[in-house]
Amino acid sequence: MKNTIEVPTNFIKNIIIEDLKEKRVSSVVTRFPPEPNGYLHIGHAKSIWLNFSLAQEFGGRCHLRFDDTNPVKEDETYVEAIKEDVKWLGYCWGEHLYFASDYFEKLFEFAVTLIKKKKAYVCDLSPEEIKKYRGTLTEPGIPSPYRDRSVEENLDLFYRMRNGEFEEGSKVLRAKIDMSSPNLNMRDPVIYRIIKKPHHRTKDKWCIYPTYDFAHCLSDAIEGITHSLCSQEFEDHRPLYEWFINELIDTEPKPKQIEFARLNLTYTVLSKRKLIQLVQEGYVSGWDDPRMPTLAGLRRRGYTPESIRRFCELIGVGKSESMVDIAMLEYCIREDLNKRALRKMAVLNPLKVVIVNYDEDKEEMLEAINNPEDMSQGTRLVPFCREIYIEREDFMEEPPKKFFRLAPGREVRLRYAYFIKCVDVIKDENGNIVEIHCTYDPETKGGNAPDGRKVKATLHWVSARHAIDAEVRMYDRLFVKPDPTEDEKKGIDFKEYINPDSLVVLNNCKLEPSLKDVKLGERFQFERKGYFCVDKDSTNERPIFNLIVPLRDKWSKHAKKTNK
């Protein structure tokens, strides 16, 4: 059944069910932990959805925690933008807004405890030396010469690090674990480093900052997180995550780290590094360019939060590296908007039609259905007169097979109006079609012929006298290749595959007059074309619409096929 929306299960849900059943946990507490150093994209949406919906489903809670442990990359503007995006997606963290930086004092105390347990030491090696001492993938590391400093000396040095007595890079605090571990993360990882930059929240209070590995697990523990979901590249960090918690936390239940596959989408890129290039090098207009996979971009494009959540449900959660077809996302927004969007008639590439047997002074108001999927949305009146616009591509002088639309001598229906028949084609001196002349059949008002004759096509149209002028921005996929990064190993940059036609601006669009006072963000279906959204660049005089997604279109698919 199409109507029954089933959410598939996934391995994380199964783990939680088991944990609850075995009473390892009594409730579910998750968290979404972004670093405030950039904008959220649809990959983050998967994580947000996962964390919040799991908490919701099991009656628990989900925290929003900013992982702000590195002041050189982070900024307050990102925390506001991230909060806005999470809210827009439809999730609420309630009281549970946290910052890793709120725990800096506690984290410092944890580090002191570790030193006292002889499980951490101050190391004077330079970054290059640390790297050298760490060994390689196949060779064990060798211990730092500073590894066996006394507790007293370590304590003294660590406090002096905090007091700002040492230069950046001159000293770090390291956990003392195992320099010969096959897991490089366990070879005495750095847990505190000196960074003499003000932090966006703690300002100048600190000049040493904990690293992710130290801060994240302990922040989870402090907040009582039960299930700490992260992406797969952290799998190798899990032993470390557990090591710190086992050394420093004795409350139960201890948070459990579970890794899942991050999202990849065809015809786009989702890495922060690549997205930033697109913005900085001017390939797009900004982080909220409607072609960007950022939540800001998708929002401006016209995607609904419901459609994005639905997408997350549909793609599921697994551990295998996957590349989801963007057609799946497009399906989700169509599915949503088909049910809700009001239908309108809009001619994107106008061709004038003169109805030669229709009285010049006559005007009629014709009734049109607002949404055939939801008759409760009622009807509206659309004006009709002697001169109208139809879509240029709806007329062909020499129609190929299977072209059902208007052609010389052929009769079609104007939606909600009349049958018209093409009687003449007017061209300029270069042979370009300027307008076409038709006759209408007054008997077919409303769109049905009393004699029962049929037409093969129904065209949308707009009265020339009443039309509103508008700009419509036709967006397409940002890249021409399903995986734009595929050839990076061959030295071909992903930007080589940018779609030159990802934005086509249509300047001479004609809209039905009911579109007069649209509001920013409103979405409509322009019949036979697609779903469109009012862009923020609109003015009172001139609305601007973004194409969210085109309607499925068997004809253009067929035409494309037979063309090659």
**Cβ proximity to RNA, 56 vs 181, nearer residue:** 181
> Shortest approach of RNA to residue 232 CB, angstroms?
6
Q: Which one of residues 261, 270, 425, 433 is an interface residue with RNA (CB under 7 A)?
A: 261
Distance of CA 383 to the CA centre of its chain: 39
Only segment of 77-85, 131-139, 199-207, 505-513 that touches RNA (CB under 7 A): 131-139
SS3 531: strand
| Residue 201 binds to RNA (criterion: CB under 7 A) | no
Q: Report the sign of the C-alpha dihedral through residues 159, 161, 165, 170, in that order.
A: positive
| Residue 490 binds to RNA (criterion: CB under 7 A) | no
- Find out whether the peptide bond into 36 is cis, omega within 30 degrees of 0: no
**Degrees (nearest 5) of the Cα angle 38, 40, 46?**
145
Q: Are 492 and 439 in contact (CB under 8 A)?
A: no
| Residue 139 binds to RNA (criterion: CB under 7 A) | yes
Give the residue numbers marked as catalytic. 35, 262, 272
> Shortest approach of RNA to residue 540 CB, angstroms?
28
Q: How many H helices and E strands in the chain? A: 13, 25
E-strand ranges in 9-153 read 29-32, 61-66, 97-99, 120-123
Look at residues 216, 122, 107, 104 and name the one whose alpha carbon lies nearest to residue 174.
Answer: 122
Interface of this chain with RNA, residues 205 to 224, rule: CB under 7 A: 209, 211-213, 215-216
Interface of this chain with RNA, residues 171 to 200, rule: CB under 7 A: 171-172, 180-185, 189-190, 193-195
What are the φ/ψ torsions at residue 301 (nearest 5 degrees)? -60, -30
| Residue 558 binds to RNA (criterion: CB under 7 A) | yes
| Residue 555 binds to RNA (criterion: CB under 7 A) | yes
Interface of this chain with RNA, residues 299 to 338, rule: CB under 7 A: 314-325, 327-328, 330-331, 334-335, 338
| Residue 158 binds to RNA (criterion: CB under 7 A) | no
> Shortest approach of RNA to residue 33 CB, angstroms?
7
> Shortest approach of RNA to residue 74 CB, angstroms?
8
Coarse DSSP helix, strand, coil percentages of the chain, rounded to the nearest 5 percent: 30, 25, 45
Q: Which one of residues 75, 247, 364, 373 is an interface residue with RNA (CB under 7 A)?
A: 373
Q: In what order do the strands lie in the sheet with 97-99?
A: 29-32, 61-66, 97-99
DSSP symbols for 19-38: HHHTTS-SS-EEEE---SSS
Interface of this chain with RNA, residues 451 to 470, rule: CB under 7 A: 457-458, 460
First to last CA, the chain: 38
Look at residues 281, 279, 271, 244 and name the one whose alpha carbon lies nearest to residue 119.
Answer: 244
| Residue 562 binds to RNA (criterion: CB under 7 A) | no
**Cβ proximity to RNA, 112 vs 190, nearer residue:** 190
Binding mask 375-414 for RNA (x = CB under 7 A): ---------------------------xxxx-------x-
| Residue 81 binds to RNA (criterion: CB under 7 A) | no
Interface of this chain with RNA, residues 29 to 48, rule: CB under 7 A: 33, 35
| Residue 73 binds to RNA (criterion: CB under 7 A) | yes
| Residue 137 binds to RNA (criterion: CB under 7 A) | yes
